[in-house]
Amino acid sequence: MKVLITGGAGFLGSHLADALLDRGDEVFLLDEGPTTKIRHRLGHEKLHFTQDSVMNEVIMEELIARVDLVYHLAAVVGVEHYVVDPYRVLNVNVNGTQNVLKWACKLARRVVFASTSEVYGRNAKVPWREDDDRVLGPTSIDRWCYSTSKAVGEHFCLAYAKLGLPVTILRYFNVYGPRLDGMGVGRVVTIFVSQALRGDPLTVVGDGRQTRCFTFESDAIAATVAAGVRPEAVGGVFNVGCNVEVSIRMLAERIIHLSGSTSKIQHVSPEAVYGRSYEDIPRRVPDIQRMQEILGVKAMVSLDEGLRETIEAFRREMEEAPSHGSCD
């Protein structure tokens, strides 16, 4: 099978590329970012990398014409982006997705769209089923632009499905693992691990009682591969995650313990980190029945097991980073 992964040099895309290459598939990657996360695969006879953007329609047509299946993972992701540059979030996530879907529909190619648990907003009813309501805050709060951009992408997927496009939607719940982000930036696991390995305080935003369900990358990738190859997944919307609920305070404590760090926990206000254009979600828990029954995937990696692997990967990254001496 020939497969295109947009955002293929990113965290999830790089792990998906590994899984598909290991299956024997021919893999085409599109990404406008650096190739650091895929450098171990560069030169593989079945890997092809194009450094460009989903906003480039000419490139999208050329690449989609060469494959059987498209995994559309490219997006602007991360709190630091959607509270600082909501325009870019909306532009890339909505218009870039339209470019992918338009050419996939014209060329009759199957698509798997990477959405997010953020689409549920602040719905207080948990666990969230795929057909549950979206409950959002006002448009004046920038934090909701990412949720909205992904929901619009889902609407376009379902609209194209009515035109005959075979499409599947995946809503990921806090996927983590090696290659997640650059040291000290991005999502909460990366930030906490980086702080713990440096011996800095782990900065828990708010009181730390907000909960998440963390999904190790190998479990998320198993579901992602299944979504692209199982016929019964076409037309479906699936939560991808585990249903083990963990508070952010507990996550910080586990990372300190597993890393052997001497770090302490420091609570900081949301406003001090993200400004006033942010609103946190108290609980985020998926119903994973569809993932288990239709995709045939069950999350297998425990939080401690996944954190150990992630911590060791970041420890190696720190050790391999070039040191910069000083000249007196």
Structure tokens at 28: 């085409």
Angle between helices 97-106 and 144-162 (to 10 degrees): 10
Query: How far is Cα 115 from Cα 153, in angstroms, rounded to an integer?
Result: 8
Query: What is the distance between the alpha carbons of residues 84 and 276, in angstroms, rounded to a whole number?
Result: 11
Residues near 271 by beta carbon (within 8 Å), at least 6 away in sequence: 278
Dist. CA 95–CA 100, nearest whole Å? 9
User: Rounded distance, CA 53 to CA 60, Å?
Assistant: 8
Q: Which value, in Å, is the radius of gyration of the alpha carbons in the chain?
A: 19
Catalytic residues: 146
Give the C-alpha separation, 107 to 60, whole Å: 11
For 212, the token pair is 């998440």
Question: How many CB atoms lie under 10 A from the CB of residue 18?
Answer: 18
Report the C-alpha gap between 93 and 100 in whole angstroms: 11
Token couple for 122: 């602040």
Tokens of 100: 């992918």
- Of 75, 94, 137, the residue nearest 276 (C-alpha): 137
Structure tokens at 18: 């590994």
Distance CA 240, CA 233 (A): 13
CA distances (Å), origin 212, targets 10, 71, 103, 143? 22, 25, 36, 17
CA 4: distance to chain centroid? 17
The secondary structure of residue 87, as a DSSP letter, is H
